[in-house]
Amino acid sequence: MTLIAVTSVALSSAMAAYAQTENPLPKASDVLVKYGDVQGWTVYTNQTRGDCLLVHSDGPSSVQMGVTANREVGYLGVFTTVDIGLQNGKQSDIFVSIDGHLYKGVATTTNGILKGDILAATS
């Protein structure tokens, strides 16, 4: 299934440097184990990387939050199969407001495998 990553918002100033070295999304080969459900969110542990992530799905869209393997950066990803007008390979700025704080991210297209409610990167 091809998905569109709507945003990947840095919750730390280190995201730009980290993004150049590793994609924070789980890889298709990662072993993801459901830990439990909390207020509409499903919590998963990534047994391969030793981190965790939360996922909430609503129809064709999912929101995923987690920490990178080195635990220095948090991320927020919004994924949808709906055509939102992003052209393959193009990027666009996007802003997300969380608890009154505005974060800038980059919307881009990506291909991935949806494992349950989790987008796993193909690389």
What is the tens place of the pLDDT at every residue in 40-95? 999 999 899 888 899 998 888 888 988 876 777 778 888 888 877 777 767 788 88
pTM of the model: 0.71
pLDDT confidence of residue 4: 45
**Domain that includes residue 88, residue range:** 2-121
Distance CA 6, CA 31 (A): 24
Mean pLDDT value across the chain: 76
Three-state secondary-structure class, residue 19: helix
Domain count, the chain: 1
pLDDT confidence of residue 109: 74
